[in-house]
Amino acid sequence: ISPSPTIGIALSGLIFGLYHLSYSSLWLNLTVPLKLYWIGLIAVATGIPYAFLYSKTKTIGASLIAYSVAHISILWISLFSGI
């Protein structure tokens, strides 16, 4: 139990980022420190808004919808932009 919502949101974002670090080795050809920096930074930065959504709505649904929209958008862009 965290003493404040801000600490809980920050910890949730950090845990989200650490979990997603495992995926970076599958598609990035970078050194380990660079993977930790970029994927960690990006994943933590995206995990914080999901935790904030949860703290405001008190339901995981809003975070899951936002997460799904983000992934579908990335998939759409990667499929149709020629990247």
Per-residue pLDDT of the chain (83 residues; tens, 9 = 90+): 557 888 888 888 888 877 776 665 555 676 777 777 776 777 788 888 888 998 899 999 999 999 899 889 888 888 887 75
pLDDT reported for residue 38: 72
Tokens coding 40: 């960690």
Amino acid identity of residue 27, one-letter, is W
pLDDT reported for residue 22: 65
> Which of helix, strand or coil describes residue 31?
coil
pLDDT reported for residue 24: 55
